[in-house]
Chain A
Amino acid sequence: MTAATVKVEQVSKSFGRKTVLSKVDLQMEEGQIYGLIGPSGAGKTTLVKMMVGMDLPDEGRIEVLRTAMPSLSMLQQIGYMAQSDALYTELTAEENLKFFASMFKMSRREQKQRIAYAAELVHLTEELGKKVAVYSGGMKRRLSLAIALIHDPAVLILDEPTVGIDPELRQSIWKELIRLKTSERKTIIVTTHVMDEASKCDQLAMVREGRILAEGTPEQLRQQYDAADLEEVFLRAGGVTL
């Protein structure tokens, strides 16, 4: 049994009178890709934002690498890619990467290497000098992913990372994510609506109306819902009779 790197304990959160998450318990481990699936508005983004410490749970606690969140120093260990591409469009891709890299503790040499690595990973090396304003939607998404990886974080939290990315590139990104978890023992948390991607996760949690309906490996979920594939699991969990 490997060590839990992210622990979510009895977390509840409401915005005004609307309860978005209620008593969520989750555990993510080192060397694991953990997928969060569920319909739009289920509370996935809210949950991962609290893991990063950008929001506080109303109840319960969240630990990352045995440190209670929010914690400023822990942010050095977390790479977060938000659901929307937050990029400085007046700047070039390289300037964006450099800027975010300098927010982390990193030597100049290290910074150069990491920028080169991250750009290569998302196939943007050739386009680094271009202004982000002229990037296509998929290119922006890739740059956003590169920024999340820039400081070599132990925990990667990716909110719908592959939206707008073509199948070929998506596959190469997933290959890299799998390499990161196996050879670098990283914890990777992804939210996704693509069931094909969900099936590549080691563990899945089905979030619906702020609760965890089911948790387990893709295979376990399929058996639990007696479904042929994850798509069916998703629909059955939502009460759709097939």
Chain B
Amino acid sequence: MRIRALIKRICEQMLRDKRTLALLFLAPLLVLSLMHYLFNHTGDVADAKIGVVGLPPQLTASLEQQGLDAIAYDKADKDTLLQDQLDAVIEMQAGSIHLILENSDPSQSKALQMKIGQATELLAGGMQQQGQAATSPKPGVTVEYVYGSEDTSFFDTLSPILIGFFVFFFVFLISGIGLLRERTTGTLERLMSTPVRRGEVITGYLAGYGIFAFIQTVIVVIYATMVLGMNLSGSIWYVLLTNLLLAFVALSLGILLSTFAASEFQMVQFIPLVIVPQIFFAGIFPLEHMDTWVQVVARIMPLYYGADALKGVMYKGLGFPDIAFDLSVLVLFAALFILLNVVALRKYRKL
């Protein structure tokens, strides 16, 4: 009964606060769309101009097939590149490839490098096949990718992390500030002067804000996959499940940290401390080759596990058994924070 009243009250409060609702439901979509646009349009090599020197004709053809504008030169160096406003020069010397990149836009250079790498691999594959079956004049080359496809962009590996991050961030912010307001206005104290149990209070808050976190998660996931067309190789249900657990961790963490903040301003100060590092350790940079201490730090961050599971499902198409470990760690995080929350409420009533 009391829990139901708590949930009802939180819903009434949230539904009247249109700004916060908009922040919760629309802001993630807006930011995701912007990110999507940004990442899908930088490193665009569609009309890159490159000079080629002494390249086998197959390679040139393959580069042009990829949409690059290849111009043949007898000799080209940095000056030629600048004079003719080329983006890159590829030179074949004694079987090895020398690449000069203009590199005013590193992401474009990366993309170019990737294309050229792909083209030379294609060529190598093609020559192998030609060696085996010299009779076929135009060998059909098929490429197999372990993860993703030829359409894979950097954003596809990043988007699962971003989805997880936005769910985490916005739920953290809103539940944290929501509870903080109760602390500063004294309503939490007043609530604790009624016979309500501490466990009931925490359950009520988790369920009340949980409803909104759930709706937000569904909206974000559906928007990201259906509207933005983000890569989704695995089941959408696992994506939802992972995000829900992540939202739950954020919810309990937000409520917990609001104990240590005396004002909204102080709550916001937790963002660079608690939220921002998580995004860097969540797999935007591959951590495998970093020092062990970096990896240890990553492993105390909930978003690391959430992002790992999301990447697994969305990008690699993994199933439940493969993400079970990540999910159970998230459950443990949530359980720990919830327990600490119940203890922290002793501040208001020693019972």
List residues of chain A with CB under 8 Å of any chain B CB: 52-56, 70-73, 75-76, 78, 80, 82, 84-91, 95, 98-100, 102-105, 147
Asked whether A104 and B9 contact (CB < 8 A) given A70-B350, A82-B190, A86-B186, the answer is: no
A-B contact pairs, 11 of them (CB 8 A): A53-B351, A54-B350, A55-B350, A70-B351, A75-B195, A80-B190, A82-B193, A86-B188, A88-B9, A99-B8, A104-B194
Q: Which of A89, A90, A147 has the most CB of B within 10 A?
A: A90
Asked whether A90 and B16 contact (CB < 8 A) given A54-B189, A70-B350, A84-B186, the answer is: yes
Q: Are A54 and B186 in contact (CB under 8 A)?
A: no
List B contacts of A82 (CB < 8 A).
186, 189-190, 193
Does B49 sit within 8 A of A, measured CB to CB? no
List A contacts of B194 (CB < 8 A).
75, 100, 103-104
Query: Which of A54, A55, A71, A88 is within 8 Å of B187, CB to CB?
Result: A88
Rounded to whole Å, the gap between the CB of B59 and the closest CB of chain A is 67
| Smallest CB gap from B190: residue in A | A86
Does B348 sit within 8 A of A, measured CB to CB? yes
Asked whether A95 and B190 contact (CB < 8 A) given A70-B349, A72-B197, the answer is: no
Does B5 sit within 8 A of A, measured CB to CB? yes
CA distance A100 to B1 in the complex (A): 12
Rounded to whole Å, the gap between the CB of B208 and the closest CB of chain A is 12
Interface size, B (range): 20 to 34
Asked whether A54 and B193 contact (CB < 8 A) given A90-B16, A90-B17, the answer is: yes
List B contacts of A54 (CB < 8 A).
189, 192-193, 348-350
| Smallest CB gap from B195: residue in A | A75
List A contacts of B206 (CB < 8 A).
none
CA distance A95 to B194 in the complex (A): 16
CA distance A95 to B10 in the complex (A): 11
List A contacts of B195 (CB < 8 A).
72-73, 75-76, 103-105
Query: Which of B8, B16, B351 is within 8 Å of A72, CB to CB?
Result: B351
CA distance A104 to B1 in the complex (A): 10
Q: Are A53 and B350 in contact (CB under 8 A)?
A: yes
Q: Are A103 and B13 in contact (CB under 8 A)?
A: no
List B contacts of A99 (CB < 8 A).
5, 8-9
Q: Are A91 and B13 in contact (CB under 8 A)?
A: yes
Query: Which of B2, B5, B13, B348 is within 8 Å of A90, CB to CB?
Result: B13
List A contacts of B348 (CB < 8 A).
54
Q: Are A103 and B191 in contact (CB under 8 A)?
A: yes
CA distance A100 to B188 in the complex (A): 11
CA distance A90 to B13 in the complex (A): 6
Does B12 sit within 8 A of A, measured CB to CB? yes
Q: Are B17 and A87 in contact (CB under 8 A)?
A: no
List B contacts of A88 (CB < 8 A).
9, 13, 187
Rounded to whole Å, the gap between the CB of A58 and the closest CB of chain B is 12
CA distance A104 to B2 in the complex (A): 8
Does B185 sit within 8 A of A, measured CB to CB? yes
List A contacts of B4 (CB < 8 A).
102
List A contacts of B1 (CB < 8 A).
102
CA distance A102 to B5 in the complex (A): 6
List B contacts of A104 (CB < 8 A).
194-195
| Smallest CB gap from B4: residue in A | A102
| Smallest CB gap from B185: residue in A | A86
Rounded to whole Å, the gap between the CB of A222 and the closest CB of chain B is 34
